[in-house]
Amino acid sequence: MTRETNRGFDVESLIRGVSSSNGIVCVLGSMNADYTVTTERLPLPGETVPGGPIALLPGGKSGNQAASAARIGANVRMFGALGKDENADFLAGKLMEAGVDVSHVARLEGASGSTLITVDAAGENTIVYSAGSNALLSPSYIDSVQCDLTEGAVLGLCLESPMDAVVEAATICHSAGMTVLLNDSPFTASLPTDLIEACDVLLVNEHEITQFLGAEKLAGVDTDWHEISYRMAEIGFEREIITLGSAGSVVIDSGEIEHVDPVTVKAIDMTGCGDAYMGAILAGLVAGYNLGDSAHMASAVSAFAATGRGAQSSYGSGDQIIDALMGGFSA
């Protein structure tokens, strides 16, 4: 079954409903200090181009996802590792400002994670990631926070953390009855069997799904999504969301296919928009929404993020996103 829907009129109620949920979103993974510079265009290999002032902004895929969910009203706990440097205090402080509980985050010797980001005039970016303390996340840490982690209803994971820690968290939380949402990014084609079995929902973009399946470039909305659904089910994924950039997204839920229209904006900076989307999906799942409704809400949340600079610094509150949506994002 395929459904083509445009439920923009529902998004306000979906966003407002997030804060009424008593469930907890748990996010485990990376937190990075983003050193960001803007340029007229991205440099070619070996080329030097002039840039503007360097800005230090909070980031890291998992930290971004936690901040996005918390900004729109979800009850969020962050799990991961920071260093014992000034960036650690900066990152923890920014997450707390967003409403995220960081009391379970470990502080380890050494530097926190960081990224070097270049953004061009069209909002496109390049990112170089230095793991820092994120690389020290271990199964023993997961075991030490197990009781607090499994109090959640939903777990969000990405792959900026060591795979053994990700697998441990997914396995424990899935066994505890939590919904495990995996963002396969940075993309890894050969996922451990234990992680696939513990994953309830997979989130990937159009490029990642083709790498996953060894397929040719997708035909956007006109792709044979039933074939994609069948092939993903053979791998072990029954439920997935595939983001298609300006073409919106596609939700596959146990064989049912739904295309979700994009929310069109004039993009300033695309940094962290995918993480904003993921955070909104987590918030939707903890509020009891189905994947389709969660994806419609996520389209608006990520569109708002594209209208500001940086990752977490561009994320809006529920009221800000609703106001922008009702105004056609003209502000």
Q: Could you report the per-residue pLDDT of 108-164, keeping only the tens digit for each? A: 999 999 989 898 988 788 888 899 999 999 999 999 999 999 999 999 999 999 999
Q: What is the pLDDT of residue 128?
A: 87
For residue 54, tell me if it sits in a domain: no
Confidence check: pLDDT of 16 > 90: yes
For residue 129, tell me if it sits in a domain: no
Q: For residue 137, count other CB atoms closer than 10 A to its CB.
A: 27
Given the residues 85, 101, 200, 275, the one annotated as active site: 275
Q: ∠ CA 185-235-156 to the nearest 5 degrees?
A: 35
For residue 281, tell me if it sits in a domain: yes
- Residue 8: pLDDT band (50, 70, 90) is very low
Q: What is the pLDDT of residue 330?
A: 47
Which helix (DSSP H) or strand (DSSP E) does residue 227 occupy?
Answer: helix 225-235
Q: What is the pLDDT of residue 189?
A: 87
Give the number of domains in the chain.
Answer: 1
For residue 126, tell me if it sits in a domain: no
pLDDT more than 90, % of the chain: 76
Amino acid identity for residue 135 in this structure: A
For residue 35, tell me if it sits in a domain: no
Q: Examine residue 186 and say whether the peptide bond preceding it is cis (omega within 30 degrees of 0).
A: yes
For residue 290, what are the domain limits? Answer: 2-30+60-110+135-326
Mean pLDDT score, 91-114: 97
Q: What is the pLDDT of residue 219?
A: 66
Pairwise CA distance, residues 302 & 298, whole Å: 6
Active site residue 275: yes
Closest CA relative to residue 99, chosen from 17, 35, 155, 27: 27
For residue 125, tell me if it sits in a domain: no
Q: ∠ CA 183-184-188 to the nearest 5 degrees?
A: 170
Mean pLDDT score, 234-260: 93
Q: What is the CATH number of the domain that holds 245?
A: 3.40.1190.20
Residues in the chain: 331
For residue 48, tell me if it sits in a domain: no
Confidence check: pLDDT of 223 > 90: no
pLDDT digits (tens, 9 = 90+) for 193-217: 999 999 999 999 998 998 888 877 7
Half-sphere exposure at residue 186, Cβ-oriented, CA atoms within 13 angstroms: 11
- Residue 6: pLDDT band (50, 70, 90) is very low
Q: What is the pLDDT of residue 90?
A: 97
Which helix (DSSP H) or strand (DSSP E) does residue 240 occupy?
Answer: strand 239-243
Q: Could you tell me if 307 and 1 are in contact, meaning their C-beta atoms sit under 8 angstroms apart?
A: no
Phi and psi angles of residue 323, each rounded to the nearest 5 degrees, phi first:
-60, -45
Q: What is the pLDDT of residue 170?
A: 98
For residue 130, tell me if it sits in a domain: no
pTM across the whole model: 0.92
